[in-house]
Amino acid sequence: MRVGPYDPSTSASRALLCASCQGVVARIGTPPGSWDGPEPEQFAYPARVDTWRGAHHTIDSGFISSVEKGCYICNALLEMFPKQERSRAQSSRTFYEICPNGHRRWALRFTIELPAGFSRYETPPQVIECEGAFKILPESALSRTPVKLKLEDDTSSEPCKSQIRTWLSRCTHGHSLCNEDWRTTTQYSMRLLNVSDTNIRLEEFGPGTGPNKYVTLSHCWNNSSERSLSQLKTSNLTDLRRGFAESSLPGNFRHAIAVARSIGINYLWIDALCIIQDSEDDWREQSNIMDDIYAGTHCNIAALNQVGEAGFLGKRRLEIIEPFLMRDPERASRSTTHIIGYDDFWCNSLLSSSLHNRAWVLQERLLSPRTIHFGEQIFWDCREHKACETYPTGIPDELSNHRTKAWRQSEQVLSPKSKVHPEPSQKSWLGALQAYLLPPRPVDRLIRQKKAYEYWSTAVEHYMRCELSHATDKLVAIQGLANKVHDMTGERYLAGLWDSPDLAHSLLWYTPGRQQANGRPSAKHGPRCMRGYRAPSWSWASLDAKIVWKWPSQCGQLLLRIEEIITQSHSDVASEASHPSEIRVSGRLIPVELQITSDYEDGSPDEDGSYAVEPRQANSTTESLEMIVDALSASDPTILLDEALVPRCTINVDLLPVVTEWRGRPAHPAAEVAGLILRRPSFNSRAVYERIGVFCFDKIPTDDNLLSGGGNSLQAAFSQRATERVILI
């Protein structure tokens, strides 16, 4: 293990911490309370007498230069930059705050200012509050100590393989949860690569006839060289059955074979080589059992970075992964008693990788009983334990923040022991009989169902931040998780939503800022563009964008009634998810004109500013229209559109109130009324509407509620409208 004191004058620490980071840590030995260096432009830390605050890197290229030199802290900070903003890192400015965190312990946090952007309009610097904190604490205080042996500089070394075997042995012999079988069935056909010798063969197995153990690979698809055999096609199926040279495979595939052999497994599943890539029928059939393929794997191998030809095993930079030891910042002792550890390093290392930006990988990670992640270091990830080469006996509690602890949320939901309702497909007739005779209590069923839907909505939020090579895979790439939630709840799957008592509430997902995770504008694939149709407009699957979906959330009164749900197929989860659906409801439509009311300096509309909502005459009684005018004029609308309105400045829409007391926005008080923003598609003259966003009203000038029907409250105004039948497509 490398050792470095905090003193910036020593040469030993410069290999691990840049001069700026050394200076930051050295401030702990000085009186707190004052600011050091240039001040930020876009934010301010709250003043506290017991903290040290100041500038970290504020000179162009200073931060990137420290990253390239191998600074332990700066390399971790780089992973916090949104991928689409990495090009701006060179001119970014970073600032720090150090707070006491117990006896002889401190927490070091960073904030990043990105420079102004210049696209169509100049945008101000962006502020990024970094997840987690660098903990400075006595090494003896860690619940688990870091590795004491020198780490190997090559992940293909025998000590690395030995560590993997140790983790695997402890898991298979000691973890009951990891040895649960989460498969819905074993009666499916699959192909596997036989890797027992250098002549690799593709073998096909009928329902229930496959080997007891196989491993899977999660990887990034890329354009492999012409010499590489990277995909199974109809034209080469026979050749792969006969056998082919291991050397003809891309590096990632060869290295996956090496890992499989090192743990004594002879069969390997790789999507590119086990699904016929130019056969839509085969692709659809295999996609429909993807959940069972990954749930049935002995171990999943995850290649974190996009290096298909080079592979994921090889040389690495030890200086950015080894624990950083230092002297006590407040004492003159020469002994190294303290450690700097980042409490978000687990998620920071994994979620920032190319692999976990791939949408398909979410279900692969959550359904596999065990995953070995290969990056700068090797991470062990099973249902009961997390570890890495740095902390081989487990991640210390002190270095596990809320994101690390929530990494695997699937155990309490997806385990077969957590079923909400008895299923005839229990693993034995005795189990089925016991489930029938002793069904879950109603309270338990409701609690488990709520957990299942909380898990699902959180998983979808993460999923929508990832990217797909083919937009048409939006529902298919998360279908495995949907199958498991369906098994858990027994509810019908509706293109990403569930036919449950909370269906109306679940329609209120929204996209903040109308952006995708890569920074591009959100894009809709709903009924308006039938040629590119992917899902109904009321489903998040119709949109390419980051979303917020806090569901099921506590709400007040339901303001509409679900009358009927129309689907085109009922054969299985996959078919219902991929066919157009309608939801027919009874509710009160409010015809309004939506207008952008803020402008840029050049007079062009600023859609990130504010909107105005003006009632328009459309089958309204004079009395109800006047009430709506009065209520809207005194209300403060929040408009959350699925796509940008510009270049248009105004649009005629209909508001469909859904609930009162909506709590679907984090860090916001409950909205008085929330609902859907609808418009009629141009190709249909019926009472058919498509969703284009969500609205809510926060400030209501009266205490009257919907039941009183009096005053000028917005709820009372809505109650004066006649109930209509509305078809949502």
pLDDT confidence of residue 214: 98
Q: What's the angle, vertex CA 65, arms to CA 60 and CA 71, rounded to 5?
A: 130
- What 3-state DSSP class applies to 260? helix
Name every residue whose Cβ is closer than 8 Å to that of residue 184 and which is 6 or more positions away in sequence: 291, 292, 425, 483, 484, 487
Question: Under a CB-based contact definition with an 8 Å cutoff, are residues 579 and 534 in contact?
Answer: no
pLDDT band at residue 438 under the 50/70/90 scheme? very low
pLDDT band at residue 7 under the 50/70/90 scheme? very low
Lowest mean pLDDT among 137-146, 374-383, 457-466: 137-146
Q: What is the mean pLDDT of residues 456-462?
A: 93
pLDDT band at residue 32 under the 50/70/90 scheme? very high
Name every residue whose Cβ is closer than 8 Å to that of residue 372 and which is 6 or more positions away in sequence: 164, 167, 259, 299, 300, 301, 302, 378, 379, 380, 381
pLDDT confidence of residue 99: 95
Name every residue whose Cβ is closer than 8 Å to that of residue 295 and which is 6 or more positions away in sequence: 181, 182, 183, 367, 368, 369, 484
Burial of 49 (0-12, 13-18, 19+ CB in 10 A): exposed
Question: Under a CB-based contact definition with an 8 Å cutoff, are residues 540 and 509 in contact?
Answer: yes
Express each pLDDT in 470-518 by its tens digit. 888 999 999 999 988 888 888 999 999 999 989 999 999 999 989 888 7
Q: What is the mean pLDDT of residues 635-639?
A: 83
Q: What percent of the chain has pLDDT over 70?
A: 81
User: For residue 572, which of 460, 504, 482 has the smallest C-alpha distance?
Assistant: 482
β pairing state of 35-36 and 324-326? unpaired
pLDDT confidence of residue 359: 93
pLDDT confidence of residue 219: 94
Q: Mind giving me the DSSP string for 167-185?
A: HHHHHHHH-TTTTS---S-
pLDDT confidence of residue 309: 78
pLDDT surpassing 80 at residue 420: no
The listed range with the strongest mean pLDDT (58-67, 78-87, 718-727) is 58-67
Q: Considering only residues 249 and 418, tell me which one the structure prediction assigns the higher pLDDT.
A: 249
pLDDT confidence of residue 718: 72
Express each pLDDT in 260-272 by its tens digit. 999 999 999 999 9
Strands, E assignment, 480-603 = 493-494, 497-498, 523-524, 543-544, 561-567, 581-587, 590-596
User: For residue 578, which of 486, 707, 661, 472 has the smallest C-alpha distance?
Assistant: 472
pLDDT surpassing 80 at residue 122: no
pLDDT band at residue 570 under the 50/70/90 scheme? very low
Lowest mean pLDDT among 432-446, 477-491, 552-566: 432-446
Express each pLDDT in 373-412 by its tens digit. 999 999 999 999 999 999 999 999 999 988 888 887 665 5
User: For residue 555, which of 706, 443, 420, 716 has the smallest C-alpha distance?
Assistant: 706
Question: Under a CB-based contact definition with an 8 Å cutoff, are residues 562 and 494 in contact?
Answer: no
pLDDT surpassing 50 at residue 705: no
pLDDT confidence of residue 579: 61
Q: How far apart are CA 243 and CA 237, in angstroms?
A: 10
Q: What is the mean pLDDT of residues 59-87?
A: 87
pLDDT confidence of residue 171: 98
**Mean pLDDT for the chain?**
83
The listed range with the strongest mean pLDDT (590-599, 633-642, 706-715) is 590-599
pLDDT confidence of residue 149: 59
Q: What is the mean pLDDT of residues 93-103?
A: 94
Express each pLDDT in 275-292 by its tens digit. 999 999 999 899 989 999
pLDDT surpassing 70 at residue 676: yes
- What 3-state DSSP class applies to 4? coil
pLDDT confidence of residue 476: 92
pLDDT confidence of residue 637: 85
The residue written with tokens 């559109």 in the block is 641
**Which tokens sit at 378?**
């090797």
Question: Under a CB-based contact definition with an 8 Å cutoff, are residues 552 and 453 in contact?
Answer: yes
pLDDT surpassing 70 at residue 551: yes
Q: What is the mean pLDDT of residues 1-12?
A: 38
626, 701, 704 from 711: Cα distances, Å = 12, 10, 6
Locate all alpha helices (DSSP H) within 134-208, ordered by sequence.
158-174
Q: How far apart are CA 592 and CA 629, in angstroms?
A: 10
Lowest mean pLDDT among 85-94, 189-198, 326-335, 510-519: 326-335
pLDDT surpassing 70 at residue 434: no
Q: How far apart are CA 575 and CA 573, in angstroms?
A: 6
Report CA torsion sign: 626, 627, 631, 634: positive
Q: What is the mean pLDDT of residues 330-352?
A: 84
pTM metric for this prediction: 0.85
Q: How far apart are CA 314 and CA 279, in angstroms?
A: 35
pLDDT confidence of residue 134: 96
| Cis bond before residue 552 (omega within 30° of 0) | yes
501, 505, 572, 678 from 584: Cα distances, Å = 15, 15, 22, 14
226, 327, 522, 616 from 235: Cα distances, Å = 16, 64, 38, 61
pLDDT confidence of residue 236: 95
